[in-house]
Amino acid sequence: MTTVITYGTYDLLHQGHINLLRRAKELGDYLIVGVTSDTFDKGRGKLNVRNNVLERIEAVKATGYADKVIIEDYVGQKIDDIQKYNVDIFAIGSDWIGKFDYLNEFCKVVYLPRTEGISSTMLRAETTQDVNVGIIGCGRVANRFPNEASIVNGIKISVAYDIDYDKTLQLAEKHQDIKPCKNIEELFGNVDAVYIATPHLTHYEYIKEALNRKKHVLVETPMVLKVDRAKEIFSLAEKQKCVLMEANKTAYCPAFNHLMVMIKSGVIGQVVDVEASLSKLWDDNMSLREFDSAQAGGSFYELGSYPLLPILRLCGTDYENINFYSQMKDGVDMYTKGVLRFKNAVCSFKVGLGVKTEGNLVISGTKGYAYVPAPWWKTDYFELRYEDQNKNKKFFYQWDDAGLRYEIQEFISCIINNRFITSKLSKKESVTMADIMQRFTDRKNFMSI
């Protein structure tokens, strides 16, 4: 039996893909098709926002040519797969001529003719109109947004606005394709969606205004600090048929999501404890907004949504109790530790702007535990550890630059594909985070240390 293997992204599967699969199948008796994972596919230089890996796998299966479909997830996997499956022929499109000659050491390499006049890039250009996005708030985080967005297909940053027009001009000078707006009306008149990166207490009004104008919204975390407001704006988004997403970059990180899926699949047994910490030493500049009590400053409002994320994702949103322990200075918490009790687990988090912690994530289970070293919120490496150390496993990934590209990719994908919810940070999780923020504001179960 002659075994053939080929690889591709197969985004927007078209006749050219089908022709290549047919030609590859004709080379032998058994065809294995490797479909690039969403994470690995970013090596093309752009993040896909059309078909996810499961949709692409189903499309390949539907052609009827693939005897087996596998996922390509890492550099060097082709050699491993050729040896693993005793492959006789590696087949790939002729636009790659010479690129895979090194595989001749392991099997025969065949470059197949491609179908002229059709490609995924061409179809994407014909069927996708860029989502025009405006930036509201031109501070530190927003200045990273245009460069990160340039990596993602289907988005155009067209305008920006800040109540401080000088900040708007500064951002526009760095990114000349972005038009500075002198007022919010001008911005809303030129966009399909907005990215809100203003101070916490202004989020609610900007979100409401955007949704009332039927604009999709990506808003920096924390989305809002009151549970009733969170419920209100999600209901409004549903009514207006708009995407509303909280821009918690860790939630959309490929490695973090892989870890969450593995934990939920039972690799460490039942989760009984999650410990997460995050801190920054900014106390040399107390003039920053983060230290102003009038602007919802403090470590918990600023950082709390990140450690709450793995806790709520793994233990659910139905916590039974929460206690806060904070070190206060001039009305803001420089350090806060929280303890959440669930039916079958007890979890804790630590955040600090004036206290330095290790910044790791430990998830304890009945069979083993997961360890993510600092900075865990930029997950690029984690370990699964067991009583028998021979069973320990290490996992390595890539975290690119600021990491905003992952949330942007999900946001644009939801808009283009008319998906009004995302499983990576659910409505219920965002509402629960707002509920916990409000409990902290109301000083419920709170102790100053």
Residues 177 and 271 in one domain: no
Domain membership of residue 21 (yes or no) is: yes
Transcribe 132-169 into DSSP letters.
EEEEE--STTGGGHHHHHTTBTTEEEEEEE-SSHHHHH
pLDDT attached to residue 218: 98
Domain membership of residue 426 (yes or no) is: no
Residues 114 and 136 in one domain: no
Residues 211 and 230 in one domain: yes
Residues 20 and 45 in one domain: yes
Token output for 226: 């009151």
Residues in the chain: 449
Token output for 364: 């304890």
**Residue 2: partners with Cβ closer than 8 Å, 6 or more residues away:** 27, 28, 29, 30, 88, 89
Closest listed residue to residue 91, CA positions, set 44, 31, 35: 31
Please say whether the beta carbons of 324 and 446 come within 8 A. Answer: yes
Residues 17 and 141 in one domain: no
Report d(CA 377, CA 372) in Å as an integer: 9
Report d(CA 166, CA 82) in Å as an integer: 58
Domain membership of residue 160 (yes or no) is: yes
Q: What is the pLDDT along the chain (449 residues), one digit of tens a residue?
A: 999 999 988 877 888 899 999 999 999 999 999 998 876 655 444 565 567 777 888 999 999 999 999 988 877 899 999 999 999 999 999 989 999 999 999 999 999 998 765 555 554 555 557 899 999 999 988 999 999 999 888 899 999 999 999 999 999 999 989 999 999 999 999 999 999 999 999 999 999 999 999 999 999 999 999 999 999 999 999 999 999 999 999 999 989 998 998 999 999 999 999 999 999 886 566 677 788 888 889 999 999 999 999 999 999 999 999 999 999 998 999 999 999 999 999 999 999 998 889 999 999 999 999 999 999 999 999 999 999 999 999 998 888 888 899 999 999 989 988 889 898 999 999 999 999 999 999 999 999 98
Amino acid making up residue 338: G
Q: In the 8-state DSSP scheme, what is residue 256? A: H
10 Å CB burial of residue 258 (0-12, 13-18, 19+) is middle
Report d(CA 430, CA 60) in Å as an integer: 35
From residue 395, how far is each of 222, 253, 372, 383 by CA, in Å? 29, 14, 10, 6
- In this structure, are strands 131-136 and 193-196 parallel, antiparallel, or unpaired? parallel
Domain end, chosen from 123, 149, 170, is at 123
Residue 13's domain comprises 3-123
Q: State the residue for tokens 């499983």.
A: 423
The helix (run of H) or strand (run of E) holding residue 321 is: strand 321-329
110: number of Cβ within 10 Å:
16
Report d(CA 254, CA 38) in Å as an integer: 8
**Residue 271: partners with Cβ closer than 8 Å, 6 or more residues away:** 263, 314, 315, 345, 363, 364, 365
Report d(CA 132, CA 74) in Å as an integer: 33
Residues 306 and 331 in one domain: yes
Domain end, chosen from 103, 123, 143, is at 123
Residues 276 and 353 in one domain: yes
Residues 383 and 265 in one domain: yes
Domain membership of residue 422 (yes or no) is: no
For the question of whether the overall pTM of this predicted structure is more than 0.85, the answer is: no
Domain membership of residue 433 (yes or no) is: no
pLDDT attached to residue 129: 73
Residues 283 and 314 in one domain: yes
Number of domains in the chain: 3
Residues 276 and 289 in one domain: yes
Domain membership of residue 289 (yes or no) is: yes
Residue 411 φ then ψ, to 5°: -60, -50
Domain membership of residue 114 (yes or no) is: yes
Residues 104 and 137 in one domain: no
Question: Residue 175 is part of a domain; what is its CATH number?
Answer: 3.40.50.720
Report d(CA 181, CA 337) in Å as an integer: 41
Domain end, chosen from 250, 270, 285, is at 250
Residues 102 and 176 in one domain: no
Domain membership of residue 427 (yes or no) is: no
